[in-house]
């Protein structure tokens, strides 16, 4: 029975995602600002001119509730079965007054090939501000540490997932983050009277004071396949599998997918009722010695009788590795 074993870890390509553009600026002037206006008039009666001023009108700027969520790592490469995988988001207060935001993550999103599994906890705030999830970053607990952002302020948020084992190279799993203003959200123009900064009204802006960003995990997996064929050559110049006939085996080993498989070893047991023909083991048409020495191939007798060839690290670009060996049908 032929088998291919990979040692160590299957490593994904170290592709780091392009950072999403995250220009998000707050709207207008600060909530609570008062705008005064006074008109003046000049006129003449007869030959004398005079001036006068009007009352001063005063208008107060209300607070607009607006928020934007941007995905900073839109596509995160992951290996099947990996844990603590992170999508990074930025939540920005694009309103004109200080506001606190409520965060929710969701990994059951339609249209992808798998659901990332939420870690526990699944949302972290970038407390140390270094852009990487680390021990200093606080787990988010709704209602306890909702981020408080000034107008134009932002916070970096990590969403953390595990990847199921049963995914294959190229599968995508989406995981999203939404943020909404604690003062209120809803239809643009909705007024939360007196609940804005400095006691002004808070008014929902064009974003509805709620925003959603969706990132994805992209599985980068490599799999190894081995295709075996045989040709029988008998002592009489024919192809009948009689005792004494030789069977020439050819095995084509290749890697498909993304990433690399390290420590690949091909091994094949010598079939019952046959005997290995010494010196017939080759890799890519180069002869290998039967003994356990520095070259890649060996004919082993314990614990089982088999040939084995070390193929090293294979990627899809490595191409087909061809192993050949021969056995003779026993008398």
Kindly state whether residue 285 participates in binding another protein, applying the rule CB under 8 A: no
Q: Which of 21, 40, 229, 331 binds another protein (CB under 8 A)?
A: 40
300 membership: H or E segment, kind and range = strand 297-300
- Work out how close the CB of 213 gets to another protein at its nearest, in angstroms, rounded to a whole number: 24
- 157: closest CA among 209, 205, 86, 246? 86
Q: Does 96 bind another protein (CB under 8 A)?
A: yes
Comparison of 53 and 285: residue with beta carbon closer to another protein: 53
Q: Which of 8, 16, 21, 49 binds another protein (CB under 8 A)?
A: 49
Return the range that interacts with another protein (CB under 8 A); candidates 30-38, 99-107, 122-130, 153-161. 30-38
For 85-112, letters b (16+ CB in 10 Å) and e give bbbbbbbbbbbbbbbebbbebbbeeeeb
Contact call for residue 258 and another protein (CB under 8 A) = no
The CB-of-209 to another protein minimum distance in angstroms stands at 12
CA separation for the pair 244, 328 (Å, rounded): 6
CB atoms inside a 10 Å sphere around CB 58: 10
| Burial class of residue 142 (count of CB atoms within 10 Å of its CB; 0-12, 13-18, 19+) | exposed
Count how many Cα atoms sit within 13 Å of the Cα of residue 1 in the half-sphere of its side chain. 3
Nearest CB to another protein, comparing residues 28 and 319: 28
245 binds another protein (CB under 8 A): no
Name residues contacting another protein, limited to 191-230 (CB under 8 A): 196, 200-201, 203, 205
In the list 21, 56, 120, 229, the residue contacting another protein (rule: CB under 8 A) is: 56
**Residue 65 or residue 167: which is nearer to another protein going by CB?**
65
Rounded to a whole number of angstroms, the minimum distance from the CB of residue 74 to another protein is: 30
Torsion sign, CA atoms 284, 288, 292, 295: negative
9, 13, 15, 35: which one binds another protein (CB under 8 A): 35
Residues near another protein (CB under 8 A), total: 39
- In the complex, the smallest distance separating the C-beta of residue 201 from another protein, rounded to whole angstroms, is 5
165 binds another protein, rule: CB under 8 A: no
Per CB under 8 A, does 64 bind another protein? yes
**Given the rule CB under 8 A, which of 38-46, 156-164, 177-185, 226-234 is the region that contacts another protein?**
38-46
Q: Binding of another protein at residue 152 (CB under 8 A)?
A: no
In angstroms and rounded to an integer, the radius of gyration of the C-alpha atoms of the chain is 35
Which of residues 3 and 54 has its CB atom nearest to another protein in the complex?
54
Q: How far is CA 258 from CA 46, 164, 179, 308, 312, in A?
A: 93, 17, 34, 25, 17
Q: Is 37 in the site for another protein (CB under 8 A)?
A: yes
Burial class, 75, CB count within 10 angstroms (exposed 0-12 / middle 13-18 / buried 19+): middle
Backbone dihedral angles phi then psi of residue 243, each to the nearest 5 degrees: -50, 135
- Give the tokens for residue 208: 């509805």
Segment near another protein (CB under 8 A); pick from 3-11, 32-40, 102-110, 300-308 = 32-40
95 vs 147, beta carbon nearer another protein: 95
* Cα–Cα distance, 168 to 256 (Å, whole number): 11
Please say whether the beta carbons of 90 and 157 come within 8 A.
Answer: yes
187 near another protein (CB under 8 A): no
Rounded to whole angstroms, how far apart are CA atoms 198 and 188? 21
41 binds another protein per the rule CB under 8 A: yes
Q: Residue numbers of the site for another protein (CB under 8 A)?
A: 27-29, 33, 35-57, 59-64, 96, 196, 200-201, 203, 205
């Amino acid at each position: 029975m032929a088998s291919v074993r990979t040692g160590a870890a299957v490593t994904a390509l170290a592709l780091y995602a392009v950072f999403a553009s995250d220009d998000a600026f707050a709207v207008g002037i600060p909530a609570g600002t008062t705008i005064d206006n006074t008109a003046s008039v000049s006129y003449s009666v007869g030959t004398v001119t005079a001036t006068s001023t009007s009352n001063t009108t005063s208008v107060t700027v209300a607070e607009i509730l607006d928020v934007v969520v941007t995905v900073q790592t839109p596509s995160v490469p992951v290996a099947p079965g990996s844990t603590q995988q992170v999508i990074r988001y930025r939540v920005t207060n694009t309103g004109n007054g200080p506001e606190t935001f409520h965060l929710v993550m969701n990994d059951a999103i339609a249209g992808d090939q798998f659901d990332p599994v939420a870690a526990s906890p699944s949302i972290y705030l970038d407390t140390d501000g270094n852009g990487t999830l680390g021990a200093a970053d606080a787990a988010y607990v709704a209602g306890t540490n909702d981020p408080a952002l000034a107008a134009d302020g932002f916070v970096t948020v990590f969403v953390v997932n595990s990847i199921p084992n049963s995914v294959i190279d190229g599968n995508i799993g989406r995981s999203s983050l939404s943020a909404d203003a604690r003062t209120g959200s809803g239809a643009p123009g909705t007024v939360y009277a007196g609940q804005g900064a400095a006691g002004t009204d808070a008014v929902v802006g064009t974003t509805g004071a709620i925003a959603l960003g969706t990132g994805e995990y992209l599985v980068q997996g490599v799999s190894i396949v081995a295709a075996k064929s045989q040709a029988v050559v008998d002592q009489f110049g024919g192809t009948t599998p009689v005792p004494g006939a030789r069977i020439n085996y050819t095995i084509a080993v290749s890697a498909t997918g993304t990433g690399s498989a390290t420590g690949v070893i091909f091994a094949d047991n010598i079939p019952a009722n046959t005997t290995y023909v010494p010196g017939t083991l080759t890799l890519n048409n180069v002869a290998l010695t039967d003994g356990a020495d520095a070259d890649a191939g060996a004919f082993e007798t314990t614990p089982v009788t088999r040939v084995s060839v070390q193929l090293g690290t294979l990627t899809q670009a490595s191409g087909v590795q061809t192993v050949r060996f021969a056995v003779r049908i026993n008398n």
